Amino acid sequence: MRISNVIHALAVAVAVMGVAAPAGAEPTHVTVRVLARDAKFIGTSMGGVRVTLRDADTGEVLAQGTTAGGTGDTARIMKQDHKRGVPLATAGAAAFSATLDLDAPRRVEVTADGPLGSPQGATRVSAVQWVVPGKGLTGGDGWLLEMPGFVVEALAPPDRVTLDGGPQTVGLKAKVTMMCGCPIEPGGLWDANRYEVRALIRRDGAPSGEVPLAYAGTTSRFAGSLTVDRPGAYEAIVYAYDAETGNTGLDRVTFTVAPR
């Protein structure tokens, strides 16, 4: 055998040993799903959620990936009575699946960060439980996490407003959806009339009032107006809040008001 072939064979053997499971390890399948609070599964349409599985005691990362798939069956999740043992997920509902090679029981922590497609609205949830080799977490909805919040996207007004001889009106607009991207509109499944959307105004770092944002006639869009009569560096902190569920989300936008 040529020396080059021997070297190649040894390299392959070393690589295989490097990824081989620990002696006596058993493949243990885990499926993780992330459900938006008061809404549906967070998946591909929102960029997914980053899922990390790690040993809760040592910090060793066991698996990492992103949820992918659809938001699920609306009627099943939002309208039907939920019975014990009946999963919310149907075929194609967003999930992340991994196979852990475990040679002993471990306390496993799962962490979900996202949605990745809307960084300003991203949050994090986590949980810990024991996982025994060969005893997977795939039945029903798998390992199910609930993620609270709204995704709020503040739509920027002009970067600079000039007080051209008197007070000026600045339009404030925002897009607000559930964490799964589900739409909000008056009388809809996610009713715009139920949510409080406001902008907290700061001028030169100090509080300078509030502006209510009302439904703007287009799905998930809200708008309001701010009258400014003093120059300065302004910030609008736009938030959405649901008193019934505690869901909260916000985004920020800045602009400058210049003297004449």
In the predicted model, is pLDDT for residue 77 greater than 80?
A: yes
Task: Delimit the domains of the chain by residue range.
Answer: 22-147, 151-258
Query: Do the beta carbons of residue 127 and residue 52 sit within 8 Å?
Result: no
Q: Do domains 22-147 and 151-258 have the same CATH topology?
A: yes
* Cα 53 → chain centroid: 17
Q: Model's pTM, two decimal places?
A: 0.87
Q: Which helix (H) or strand (E) holds 17?
A: helix 3-19
Give the whole-angstrom CA distance, residue 195 versus residue 182: 14
In the predicted model, is pLDDT for residue 106 greater than 80?
A: yes
Give the whole-angstrom CA distance, residue 190 versus residue 181: 11
Average pLDDT score over residue span 156-172: 89
pLDDT at res. 2:
43
Query: Do the beta carbons of residue 114 and residue 42 sit within 8 Å?
Result: yes
- Domain 151-258, architecture per CATH: Sandwich (2.60)
CATH number 3.40.50 is the correct assignment for the domain at 22-147: no
Percent of the chain scored above 90 by pLDDT?
Answer: 85
Higher pLDDT, 71 or 15: 71
